[in-house]
Amino acid sequence: MRQQVVYILDPYISRRSRTRPTQVKKVVEVLHDLLGIQYKNAYTNKITEFPIRTLEWLPQQSNGYDCGMHVIKYFELVQFIDSEACLLQFDSWDARQRLALGLVRDANNKIGSRVIELACDR
C-alpha cells in the first residue's frame, strides 16, 4: 500500500459531519474483518490502526445531488495532497455531460451506437 491513511472525502459538510470519523471507523473495522477472511495470512496490514483524516481542501458541493460527480472526480486524485486540488475544480453540469457521453461512446457499450442514432433523430 502506498499510503497507510484512511481519508474521508466528504463534499457535503453538514451537521452530521462531526460524527463522520466514528462512522468511518466502523466501516474500516468491517473492511478489516473482510480482508482478513478473504486473504487470510496474506493480509498483513492492520487498517484499523491507520489514521483517519479529513481533507479540508476538498471543494464543497452547493446542493444535495452532486455528490456522485464529486466522488468520480476524487478517483482522479493520486496522492491526496492539496496541490491536487486543481483536479477537483469542475462544473458539475459539464462533468455530467462528459460522463454520459463517455458511457455512451465506450467500446463496451453494446447499444451506444443505437443511443447516438436515436439522439440524432430527435
pLDDT digits (tens, 9 = 90+) for 86-99: 777 778 888 889 98
Of the candidates 59, 81, 83, 80, the residue with the CA atom closest to the CA atom of residue 70: 59
Do 66 and 115 lie in one domain? The reply is no
Residue 98 resides in a domain: yes
Residue 1 resides in a domain: no
Higher pLDDT, 80 or 11: 11
Do 67 and 118 lie in one domain? The reply is no
Q: How confident is the model at residue 1 (pLDDT cuts 50, 70, 90)?
A: very low
Do 50 and 102 lie in one domain? The reply is no
Q: How confident is the model at residue 2 (pLDDT cuts 50, 70, 90)?
A: low
Do 97 and 113 lie in one domain? The reply is yes
SS3 6: strand
Do 53 and 104 lie in one domain? The reply is no
Q: Is the pLDDT of residue 55 over 70?
A: yes
pLDDT of residue 93: 87
Q: What span, in angstroms and rounded, lies between the C-alpha atoms of 4 and 9? A: 15
Do 43 and 95 lie in one domain? The reply is no
Q: Is the pLDDT of residue 45 over 60?
A: yes
pLDDT of residue 15: 65
Q: Is the pLDDT of residue 3 over 90?
A: no
Do 42 and 74 lie in one domain? The reply is yes
Q: At what angle are helices 92-105 and 67-74 packed, to 10 degrees?
A: 70
Domain count for the chain, please give it: 2
- Give the predicted TM-score (pTM) of the model: 0.62
Do 72 and 106 lie in one domain? The reply is no
In this structure, of 70-74, 79-83, 113-117, the range with the lowest mean pLDDT score is 79-83
